[in-house]
């Protein structure tokens, strides 16, 4: 019988501590038990409506062990990662909070780490972040007070030494499982395993890779990782995702930093009668290949605007081997919460409409 990773006093409460574990969350437990983990990325809404987050998270229930809350990925503004995590933790989900160094300095970031841990966030992903020129507000002022390495070190010091970077003591240090990103598909290729080693030394305990569409290249990377013994020091999750069409694949290859898609992959999708279906099957095929590579501990599914296919792809690949990740049981208050959120949303729209009508009929007085 599979272990039940849930606090009996409430799904929103942390799990009991276990020896050798740094966090009180489910993802670390799954990985340390040697089970093949599945994480997925939640497409953040351009909205202040909590329902938009819950609807997107519900798609993943029973299929993933962690949900990434992205931090203005691509330097484009959406609902914040800390806001999404606040919503997810109260419902019992296991968020992986991404922190990008682009937008906040070390003072703000350390405060966010404490706040996130207090809300029940158990996993933090440390990223440098894309430059502001990659997004739709290129005039924004970048910060980059820290980078991914120094951010990992900062959070590790807060967790293990119970102090801020200034040396001031923490009364209750955050209990966190630390993650980072890797890209085996970007030059210089020979340097990539050594960069992973540096991230592990800085504090990374798990990593998620950029999209993998070139399995032979990833195999070469993993061979070097194993030669360095890094697979025994860090859990490696391979980034996978469906391609909606050959046109999408070409656009990603040209416009998304760090994405490598071989010509033969694009030709395979282009030659299919149903390109979206073929892109989904390609993702399943890649999952089935990478799951057999020694040192791979899981997959990270990035199905942008195709989240509804995540369950099908995970099921058809068989990576869970009959195991079902945590699934939220419907509570008696769920209907009341959903109704209240709907009322709030409707009220907001009515208020905005009333204000618009008032403004339209109001003639401002002239001032002298």
Residue 40 DSSP label:
E
Structure tokens at 196: 């992973």
Residues 196 and 252 in one domain: yes
Q: How far apart are CA 92 and CA 173, in angstroms?
A: 22
| Domain span at 347 | 333-359
pLDDT at position 344: 67
Q: Residue 179: enclosing H or E segment and its boundaries?
A: strand 177-182
Residues 218 and 346 in one domain: no
On whether both 294 and 347 belong to a single domain, the answer is no
- Residue 6 within any structural domain of the chain: no
Residues 229 and 158 occupy one common structural domain: yes
Does one domain contain both 283 and 350?
Answer: no
Residue 166: which CATH number? 3.20.20.220
123 with 236, same domain: the answer is yes
In a domain, 47, yes or no: yes
In the chain, the number of structural domains is: 2
Q: At what angle do helices 275-290 and 215-227 cross, to 10 degrees?
A: 20
Which pLDDT tens digit goes with each residue over 304-330?
989 999 999 999 999 999 999 998 876
Same domain membership, residue 140 and residue 277: yes
What letter would DSSP give residue 319? T
Q: Could you read off the pLDDT of 179-229 as tens digits, one per residue?
A: 999 999 999 999 999 999 999 999 999 999 999 999 999 999 999 999 999
Answer yes or no: is 241 within a domain: yes
Are 261 and 253 in contact by the 8 Å Cβ rule? The answer is yes
Q: Residue 13's pLDDT band (boundaries 50, 70, 90)?
A: confident
The answer as to whether 366 is a domain residue is no
Nearest CA among 252, 240, 320 for reference residue 281 = 240
Burial class (CB in 10 A: 0-12, 13-18, 19+), 7: middle
Q: Is the pTM of this model over 0.85?
A: yes
Query: What's the rounded mean pLDDT across residues 339-356?
Result: 63
Evaluate whether residue 60 is within a structural domain: yes
- Residue 237 sits in the same domain as residue 180: yes
């Amino acid at each position: 019988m599979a272990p039940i990773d849930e606090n009996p006093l409430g799904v929103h409460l942390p799990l009991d501590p276990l020896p050798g574990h740094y966090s009180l969350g489910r993802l670390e437990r799954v990985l340390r038990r040697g089970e093949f983990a599945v994480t997925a990325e939640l497409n953040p809404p351009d909205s202040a409506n909590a329902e938009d987050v819950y609807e997107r998270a519900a798609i993943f229930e029973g299929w993933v062990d962690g949900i990434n809350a992205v931090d203005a990925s691509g330097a484009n503004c959406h609902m914040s990662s800390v806001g999404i995590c606040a919503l997810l933790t109260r419902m019992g989900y296991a968020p992986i909070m991404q922190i990008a160094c682009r937008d906040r300095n070390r003072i703000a970031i350390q405060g966010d780490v404490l706040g996130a841990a207090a809300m029940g966030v158990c996993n933090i992903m440390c990223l440098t972040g894309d430059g502001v020129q990659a997004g739709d507000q290129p005039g924004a002022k970048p910060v980059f007070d820290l980078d991914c390495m120094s951010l990992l070190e900062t959070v590790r010091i807060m967790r293990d030494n119970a102090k801020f970077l200034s040396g001031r003591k923490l009364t209750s240090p955050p209990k966190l499982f630390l993650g980072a990103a890797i890209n085996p598909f970007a030059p210089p290729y020979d340097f990539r395993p050594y960069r992973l080693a540096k991230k592990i030394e800085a504090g990374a305990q798990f990593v998620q890779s950029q999209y993998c569409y070139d399995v032979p290249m990833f195999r070469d990377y993993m061979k070097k990782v194993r030669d360095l013994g890094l697979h025994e020091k860090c859990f490696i999750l391979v980034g996978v995702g469906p391609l909606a069409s050959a046109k999408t694949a070409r656009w990603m290859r040209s416009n998304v930093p760090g994405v490598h898609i071989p010509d033969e992959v694009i030709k395979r999708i282009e030659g299919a009668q149903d390109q979206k279906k073929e892109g989904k099957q390609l993702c399943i095929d890649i999952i089935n290949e990478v799951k057999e590579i020694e040192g791979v501990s899981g997959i990270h599914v990035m199905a942008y605007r195709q989240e509804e296919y995540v369950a099908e792809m995970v099921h058809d690949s068989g990576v869970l081997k009959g195991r079902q990740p945590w699934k939220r049981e419907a509570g008696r208050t769920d209907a009341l919460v959903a109704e209240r959120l709907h009322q709030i949303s409707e009220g907001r729209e009515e208020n905005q409409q009333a204000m618009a009508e008032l403004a339209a009929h109001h003639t401002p007085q002239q001032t002298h």
